[in-house]
Amino acid sequence: MGQFPKLCIAAHLMLAISAYAQTTANQTWSEFESLLSGLTVAQSPADLPKYFELPEGWVRGLRTIKAKAATRKGELAACLSLRAQARTNDRDKAMKAYANLMATRNQLTPEKFAAMEKDLRQTIEAAGATGVGGRTWEFGGIQYGDELSIEVRYNKFTCDGEALAAVHTHPPPAPALPSDSDLAHFLSKKGQRASLVVAEKGMCIAVKTKLADGVPPLRARVLHTVYTNGLSLNRVRSGKDTDDDDFAPAVAAAAEATGMGLYCGDIGARLTRISAVDINKQDDLFYLAAKGLEIARYWAFEQGRAAQSSGSGGSSIDYPYAPTLDPRFVTYLRARFGSDIEPALTRGVSPFDFYASLLTLEAEKISFGGGLNGITAPDFRDDIAKPFLSTACTVDGRDFLCSVRRVGYDTTTGTTKTIDFRAFYRSADRSWYLVDVRDGELRLVDDDPTDRYEGGCEYSNMRCRPNGPGTLKVKGEGVTWRVQYSSEGYTKTGKVTE
């Protein structure tokens, strides 16, 4: 009897101590919590940590959304936020004000934003230091996407106001890597610090740094396409077929080039920083990719109109589907884009940057989507029931084959099927075939695909750019001309042979 009260006192003491210890631990913000809340913003992707850990509240929600996604088609989404539980209201209010400030920062001058941000941060940090607050990492209600869509465009989901991040799911077999439109959507949400994707296998998170501020969302879309296309082009060059699961380094490269860092791993585990791929920006296959984009655009959008108004000027497809920036393609580009294309044609612009410029110009005119191996036009996610044009290069024995195909999506089997070819290029003999725009027949338009130039060169990374006097055998004309090249193109100065 004498011992009983003593035990009770001891038990009370222990409870009090453990409660105290827990509260103290909660008040220390981890590096990851600081980054997710926006209290700290890394200067550049190089300043982001090597790995990432998510708060427990979000991890629980991620497990739930993954389980729900497994039981239904389509994508699910949720908004993620942080709620401060202050004993006094100061910190809670300050956190709300901080989230609002982050969401509306683009409406403020940089000076005004910096001043307000500093004030609020001091209030929040002061509240934390005096030990008045815990915090809850909240996982919002689950939003359901379109069941028929194989990839619901992420912008159907909205997370505004206080949301610090958003998560959505990718149905199998898609990996958890953010798509071109995922990265673009994330950049358009100024207040959000992170974007999460959950798939059947694992998850990924993209985290913003200061460098992401003010980057146009379109830039992320274009770079996602150029890096993923570039990785697959580099692979077919070395005889390796493309494998969807290995595109993480290309997505990481697009994320870093637009001021973000990418992490992937399992839900609840430590997420690993994905290293950006180093691709060969001088690969001439980017010229083939650019021509593929234009051929796809023609058959997706212009075919009907061209038939009505015969002679559609320079925008018809009459250049070789070969990996060159040849005079006929340049003429076509000038007819389509006017002076807007000139910066991309400037000497010293890499094939990679040329392709990126073309994608940027086209994005203002037509609908296309970035795929892993190429592009689709229209963006097949707009309406999967309709056939679309698709560009890709694939390994063919020791060589590779690049093509522009019409593709249909079979909604019952969930697979894509080639309807027919509009163009293809064979690396083995450098031959190319085009569907003739006049009669719609696929034929070998030219067995010697490229205009042949010999003469003065200005070398840029081992590549000859015609400069000064030389000769040019123009295929289709069967004539070799003496030419004089300048930055404006070339002028014919005489005939060499018939």
Residues that bind Zn ion (CB under 5 A): 179, 182
Q: State how beta strands 165-169 and 194-198 pair.
A: parallel
Q: Which is nearer to Zn ion, 138 or 182 (CB)?
A: 182
Q: Answer for the pair 122, 45: CB distance below 8 angstroms, yes or no.
A: no
CB of 56 to Zn ion, least distance (A): 25
CB of 263 to Zn ion, least distance (A): 16
Tokens of 379: 């963006």
CB of 271 to Zn ion, least distance (A): 17
Residue 15 contacts by C-beta under 8 Å, 6 or more apart in sequence?
A: none
CB of 182 to Zn ion, least distance (A): 4
Helix, strand, coil % in the chain, rounded to nearest 5 = 40, 25, 35
Burial of 69 (C-beta count, 10 Å sphere; 0-12/13-18/19+): buried
Q: Which is nearer to Zn ion, 92 or 182 (CB)?
A: 182
Residue nearest to Zn ion (CB): 182
Burial 6-33 (b: 16+ CB within 10 A, else e): eeeeeeeeeeeeeeeeeeeeebebeebb
The helix/strand/coil state of 152 is coil
The helix/strand/coil state of 262 is strand
Q: Which is nearer to Zn ion, 182 or 451 (CB)?
A: 182
Q: Which is nearer to Zn ion, 135 or 185 (CB)?
A: 185
CB of 170 to Zn ion, least distance (A): 5
CB of 189 to Zn ion, least distance (A): 14
Q: Which is nearer to Zn ion, 175 or 320 (CB)?
A: 175
Closest to 337 (Cα-Cα) out of 315, 318, 322: 315
Q: Which is nearer to Zn ion, 38 or 370 (CB)?
A: 370
CB of 151 to Zn ion, least distance (A): 7
Burial 255-264 (b: 16+ CB within 10 A, else e): bbbbbbbbbb
Q: Which is nearer to Zn ion, 81 or 179 (CB)?
A: 179
Distance CA(260)–CA(194), nearest Å, equals 9
